[in-house]
Amino acid sequence: MKQNIKYRAWLKNEEEMCEVIGFNFIYETVTAICKDRSTIYMSGEQPLMHKIFKFDKVELMQFTGLVDSKGVDIFEGDILQTRDGLMVVEYNQDRFECIDSNDNNFRLYDYIYFGFTKVIGNIYENQDLIK
C-alpha cells in the first residue's frame, strides 16, 4: 500500500498556510510553497513561489492519507463538518482522530468510511468556527 506523505505549514509570523515541499534537518528548516513570495522557480510550465522557514517559525500539519466526501485532502488541524457536528483533526499516539467540542475523540477513519465528512476550514485560518 502506497501512502502519500505530505505536509503543510502554518507560518506563525505571516499567518499564512503553505504547502511543504522539503525539510532540512541539519539546518532545521522547512521549504514551502506560499502565495505572494519573492523567490520563484519553475516546475514544468507553472511558476511556483517558495521560501525557507526555521522549524520554530511554523506549525506543521501532516496529511492523514484520507480525503473528505468531496475529495479534499484532510490534514491535522482541519475542521470537519460531520453528521455529529464540527470536529477538529488531531494526531493522537498512533492514529488520526476527530475531537468534538466536548473533547471526545473518535477515529477519523470511522467518520470517513461511515458517513458524510467535509473539510470546512482549519484551526489557524478559521478559529471562529470552533469557538
Summarised one tens digit per residue, pLDDT across range 43-88 is: 455 556 778 999 999 999 999 999 999 999 999 999 999 988 999 9
Tell me which residue range forms the domain holding 106: 64-129
Nearest in space to 62 (alpha carbons), one of 122, 1, 131, 129: 122
* Three-state DSSP class for residue 69: coil
In-domain check, residue 2: no
Domain harbouring 117, CATH code? 2.30.30.290
pLDDT value, residue 42: 46
How many residues appear in the chain?
Answer: 131
pTM: 0.85
Q: Are residues 78 and 116 in the same domain?
A: yes
Q: Are residues 80 and 125 in the same domain?
A: yes
Beta partners for residue 19, in sequence order: 8, 33
pLDDT value, residue 39: 46
pLDDT value, residue 1: 54
